[in-house]
């Protein structure tokens, strides 16, 4: 991969951002490179990659790392997260979004994600897409801010419920990051203390975890994965299936 001229990684304009992590270990670098090579071998044309797993499983970090490796191959990489395609928070009074089941049923705007992001990326005629609809923190609308789609672009999208029936057919390669439920709650509560305060653990246990278990029961996405990665130890991830 490194013999090619590095292409650009295009990121969402959302304020819900985190940087690409520094290399944690040789083992992690090798695993990310292996998956990047498998992705790039699929086709020289546009590719759509989905990354799913429990909240705080490390999906965004893995997506950033994978995008960096893809870009080093010379292929443009685009990064998006489904959290940037949620229904506007101002409309939450119209439906239940705060219980576990309500979050699963109502939080995400799949039609918007298809219209702005997934349909353009899948269409050979489209030359741009939006990497963000509504900023989840500021609620600013970024739908008009578009990013170039080159013929060989690789779009990498992370998010819970990425393989729901509404959008499952879009993906060329599906990745599941595996962590246990209690680790998900603990990591998520630590991460979100700044905005959720003392409610952080209950939000993760009673809303997000309930929603994710409902998703697993209804959709059963794991049998369709192209790669399942044990991401409990960030420095020593393990490829469980390939």
- The reported pTM is 0.94
Query: According to the 3-state scheme, what is the secondary structure of 33-74?
Result: HHHHHHHHCCCCCCEEEEEEECCCCCHHHHHHHHHHHHHHCC
The tokens of 87 are what? 């229904």
Tell me the angle at which helices 209-219 and 181-191 cross, rounded to the nearest 10 degrees: 140
Q: Are 76 and 7 in contact (CB under 8 A)?
A: yes
Query: pLDDT tens for residues 121-163?
Result: 999 999 999 999 999 999 999 999 999 999 999 999 999 999 9
The residues near 80 (Cβ < 8 Å, ≥ 6 apart) are 12, 117, 131, 132, 155, 156, 157, 158
Query: pLDDT tens for residues 2-45?
Result: 457 999 999 999 998 888 888 889 999 999 999 999 999 999 99
Quote the CA–CA distance of 36 and 50 in Å, as a whole number: 13
Query: pLDDT tens for residues 160-185?
Result: 999 999 999 999 999 999 999 988 87
Yes or no: is domain 9-229 CATH 3.30.565.10? Answer: no
Residue by residue, DSSP assigns 149-170 as --TT-EEEEE-TTTTSTTTGGG
- The residue extents of the domains of the chain are 9-229
- Residue bearing tokens 């959008």: 167
């Amino acid at each position: 991969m490194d013999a090619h001229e590095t292409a650009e990684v295009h990121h969402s304009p959302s304020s819900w951002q985190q940087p690409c992590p520094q290399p944690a270990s040789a083992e992690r670098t090798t695993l990310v490179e292996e998956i990047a090579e498998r992705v790039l071998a699929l086709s020289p044309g546009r590719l759509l990659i989905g990354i799913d797993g429990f909240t705080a499983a490390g999906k965004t970090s893995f997506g950033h790392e994978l995008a960096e490796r893809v870009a080093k191959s010379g292929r443009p990489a685009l990064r998006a997260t489904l959290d940037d395609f949620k229904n506007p928070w101002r409309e939450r009074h119209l439906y239940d979004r705060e219980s576990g089941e309500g979050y699963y049923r109502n939080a995400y705007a799949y039609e918007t994600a298809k219209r702005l992001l997934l349909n353009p990326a899948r269409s050979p005629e489209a030359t741009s897409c939006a990497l963000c609809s509504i900023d989840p923190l500021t609620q600013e609308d970024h739908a008009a801010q578009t990013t170039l789609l080159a013929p060989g672009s690789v779009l990498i999208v992370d998010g819970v419920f990425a393989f729901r029936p509404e959008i499952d057919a879009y993906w060329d390669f599906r990745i599941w990051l595996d962590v246990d439920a209690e680790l998900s709650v603990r990591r998520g509560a630590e991460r979100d203390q700044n905005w959720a305060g003392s409610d952080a653990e209950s939000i993760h246990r009673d809303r997000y975890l309930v929603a994710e278990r409902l998703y697993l029961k209804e959709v059963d996405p794991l049998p369709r994965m192209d790669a399942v990665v044990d991401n409990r130890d960030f420095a020593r991830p393990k490829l469980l299936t390939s």
